[in-house]
Amino acid sequence: MPLVSMRQLLDEAAKGGYGVGAFNVNDMEQIQAIMAAAKETNSPVIIQASRGARSFAQDRFLFHLILAANELYPEIPIAMHQDHGNSFETCKSAIDLGYTSVMMDGSLKEDGKTPASFEENVAVTKRVVDFAHERGVTVEGEIGVLGGVEDGHGAGGTGLEHVTDPDQAVEFAELTGVDALAIAIGTSHGAYKFSKKPDGSVLKMDVLIAIHKRLPNTHLVMHGSSSVPKDLQDVINKYGGKLKETWGVPVEEIQLGIRNGVRKVNVDTDNRLAMTGAIRKVLWESPEKFDPRDYLKPAREAMQKVVATRMTQFGQAGHAGDYKAVSITEIAKGYKDGSLKTKPLVAK
Ligand code: 13P
């Protein structure tokens, strides 16, 4: 099947009441790990690339690697998504290349660091929505600002500085017509999210639930959703690493989110930890080894294990065969004739 529009994939997830992991990639081994996990668990999947990933791998390498995944696993619905686009031009370049979905992160200015005004965010996001929808491409927007920094993108801080205001979320969704909405509820990118197991004072699930009540049909997105499990931290530290003690987002909180409108769950850090731990172990235990395959194979297997576990926990497992991809040309017609509504249903 062709690459799937993320809108179709998330509409199906909403129908089935499950969430879909969006996993970041930079190289071939990560794409292979995700696809092996998707096959193992029979899951639809979102593969996403940040600006940093696109420049690290060189755009066309990464694009063609994802196309190879699509060719090799025709039974698995795959949406190809630009993570944290910082400008109209970045999103346009992904769309021109063939991505089926983009995130316009207008919560920050183009520098990817400075929080933008609400008006600036609406203007740039709406511009991307108009351009993308004409081509059948999905748009994720962000309201509120996440904490931390990922691949040089982010405002830093704890994630509690710009928690999403539910009224603004409603206004933003109505003004922009985004297909999916990322909200800030205290999470941040990277390994260092919380200094102890998070409770409601730092992880604002009540805000998420309030937004879902007002926007019951809008697909919500949780960024910074790695759980940073202790066992993955321990492997790194056992083999010479120096991670400080830290906590991520507990899986049960993500599952609560999924019961309350979260359809896309962004995970990067857990996979990075798994791969690094596996590589450290090989190099520590067998310092005589120098063939990259000796450590890349266990790294790929470690990532596959994490991804398959998350796919099962998010509920997407078993759903790959539920539908066939609608081409983005058809999806574009749906945006044009209004059958794919872009004005959200707002509950008073
Ligand atoms: P983590 O750093 O928690 O994996 O978050 C990744 C993310 O949100 C990508 O946009």
Residues 105-133 have pLDDT tens digits of 999 999 998 999 999 999 999 999 999 99
Q: What is the pLDDT of residue 264?
A: 98
Average pLDDT over residues 287-304: 98
Run of H or E including 183:
strand 180-183
Q: At 24, phi and psi to the nearest 5?
A: -80, 145
**Which is more confident, 155 or 40?**
40
Q: Are 169 and 214 in contact (CB under 8 A)?
A: yes
pLDDT grade for 1, boundaries at 50, 70 and 90: confident
Average pLDDT, the chain: 96
Q: Which atom of ligand 1 is nearest to the CA of 189?
A: 2
User: What are the structure tokens assigned to 125, written together?
Assistant: 């996001």
Cα-to-centroid distance, 225 and ligand 1 (Å): 6
Q: Which pLDDT score is estimated for 33?
A: 99
Q: Which residues are catalytic?
A: 83
pLDDT at 305: 98
333 CA to centre of ligand 1 in angstroms = 32
SS3 147: strand
8 A C-beta contact, residue 3 and residue 100: yes
247: closest CA among 263, 269, 265? Answer: 269
- Atom number in ligand 1 closest to CA 148: 2
Using only C-alpha atoms, what is the Rg of the chain? 19
Structure tokens at 124: 């740039």
Cβ 267 under 6 angstroms from ligand 1: yes
Residue 150 has pLDDT above 80, yes or no: no
pLDDT digits 0-9 by tens, 257-266: 999 999 999 9
Query: Is the pLDDT assigned to residue 156 strictly greater than 90?
Result: no
The distance from CA 231 to its chain's CA centroid, rounded to whole angstroms, is 23
How many helices (H) and strands (E) in the chain?
13, 8
| 3-class state of residue 81 by DSSP | strand
Classify strands 101-104 and 78-85 as parallel, antiparallel or unpaired.
parallel
Judge if the beta carbon of residue 24 lies within 6 A of ligand 1. Answer: yes
State if residue 51 touches ligand 1 by the CB under 6 angstroms criterion: no
From the CA of 170, how far away is ligand 1's center (Å)?
A: 24
Nearest CA owner, ligand 1 atom 3: 224
Per-residue pLDDT band at 342 (split at 50, 70, 90): confident
Retrieve residue 153's tokens.
């993108």
Evaluate: CB of 220 within 6 angstroms of ligand 1.
no
- CA of residue 150 relative to chain centroid, distance: 12
Alpha-carbon distance of 154 to 347, in angstroms, equals 31
Q: How many residues does the chain have?
A: 348
What pLDDT does residue 341 have? Answer: 85
Instruction: Tell me the β-bridge partners of 79.
Output: 46
